[in-house]
């Protein structure tokens, strides 16, 4: 399996605070990688470094054979990198349709508004928001806004998609629906990196897990191995989780 993304000794400093410390990690085409760890571990910082929001202080990031360490955000989008945000902030007064169309226009050069809206309708239908296409984003529920965020990311035609806590704030039925959408995306060949705190979702969806703690990569491997790793138990999962998991066999 070939790599689509590689981070080599990537670090990120903010005024003396080291948010990432020499993280080396490869992501393979077609896989679903779970990126987990405590709050403040550096997960979103890693995504921001890859997508050009806050470039790495040192190290190298390679995407599909191209050095993107200092890439601009719009350029990252046009190369095929897309992401959702943990705190969804759509254009509140725009319709759902035009929120998605705007993402298509941002990430693809030479796209007309008409074709962007046609694409947007297809993506809204995929996430189950076709009936809400004409509603302003401000009127949507949290679960709908999360699905709108996903539709916006898909409008960018991603080769690699980062999902930043897409299930946060959702009830169990909404989480199940979101999980089904992620399975469909993975089956369609999109490489996915999930930042996720719900371990049930991680174990259900992900083919591999990488764990960050204090900006360092402390574990990387098959899900069932990683959740038994003593360093991961101590830093993130807790011994009660490990005991319950062991009892389930």
Spatial contact of 163 and 194, defined as CB atoms under 8 Å apart = yes
pLDDT tens by residue, 195-242: 999 999 999 999 999 999 999 999 999 999 999 999 999 999 888 877
The predicted model scores a pTM of 0.92
Mean pLDDT (whole number) for 28-36: 96
What is the predicted pLDDT for the residue at 154? 95
Q: CA 226: distance to chain centroid? A: 20
Q: Which tokens in the block code for residue 97?
A: 């349709």
pLDDT above 70 (res 177): yes
Give the mean pLDDT of the chain.
93
Q: What's the average model confidence in pLDDT over 174-180?
A: 92
Q: Quick check: 244 pLDDT over 80?
A: no
Where do the structural domains in the chain lie, given as residue ranges?
28-55+71-80+158-249, 93-157
- Compute the distance between CA of residue 49 and CA of residue 69 in angstroms, rounded to an integer: 8
pLDDT value of residue 111 = 84
Q: Please, are residues 102 and 130 in contact by the beta-carbon 8 Å criterion? A: no
Task: Using alpha carbons, select from 138, 131, 192 the residue that is nearest to residue 166.
Answer: 192
Reported as a single tens digit per residue, the pLDDT across 103-162 is 999 888 788 999 999 999 999 999 999 999 999 999 999 999 999 999 999 999 999 999
CATH superfamily of 28-55+71-80+158-249: P-loop containing nucleotide triphosphate hydrolases (3.40.50.300)
pLDDT value, residue 1: 61
Q: What contacts 94, CB < 8 A, 6 or more positions away?
A: 102, 136, 137
pLDDT value at residue 129: 96
Res. 249 pLDDT band, cuts 50 70 90: low
Q: State how far the Cα of 23 lies from the Cα of 215, in Å rounded to an integer.
A: 8
Q: Give which of 59, 72, 30 is closest to 208, Cα–Cα.
A: 30
**CB 83, CB 43: distance < 8 Å:** no
DSSP label of 136: B
Q: What is the pLDDT of residue 4?
A: 97
């Amino acid at each position: 399996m070939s790599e689509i993304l590689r981070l080599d000794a990537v670090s990120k400093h903010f005024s003396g605070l080291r948010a990432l410390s020499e993280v080396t990690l490869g992501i393979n085409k077609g896989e679903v990688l779970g990126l987990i760890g405590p709050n403040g571990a550096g997960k979103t910082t890693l995504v921001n470094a890859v997508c050009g929001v806050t470039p790495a202080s040192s190290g190298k990031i390679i995407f599909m054979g191209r050095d993107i360490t200092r890439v601009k955000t719009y350029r990252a989008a046009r190369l095929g990198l897309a992401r959702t945000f943990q705190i969804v902030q759509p254009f509140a007064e725009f319709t759902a349709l035009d929120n998605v169309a705007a993402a298509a226009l941002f990430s693809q050069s030479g796209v007309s508004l008409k074709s962007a809206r046609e694409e947007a309708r297809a993506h809204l239908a995929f996430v189950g928001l076709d009936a809400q296409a004409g509603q302003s984003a401000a009127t949507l529920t949290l679960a709908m806004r999360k699905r709108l965020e996903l539709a916006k990311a898909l409008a960018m035609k991603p080769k690699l998609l980062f999902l930043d806590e897409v299930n946060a704030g959702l009830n169990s039925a909404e989480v199940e629906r979101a999980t089904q959408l992620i399975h469909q995306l993975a089956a369609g060949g999109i490489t996915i990196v999930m930042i996720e705190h719900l371990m049930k979702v991680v174990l259900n969806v992900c083919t591999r897990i990488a764990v960050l703690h204090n900006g360092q990569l402390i574990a990387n491997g098959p899900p069932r191995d990683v959740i038994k790793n003593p360093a991961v138990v101590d830093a993130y999962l807790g011994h009660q989780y490990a005991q319950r998991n062991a009892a389930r066999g």
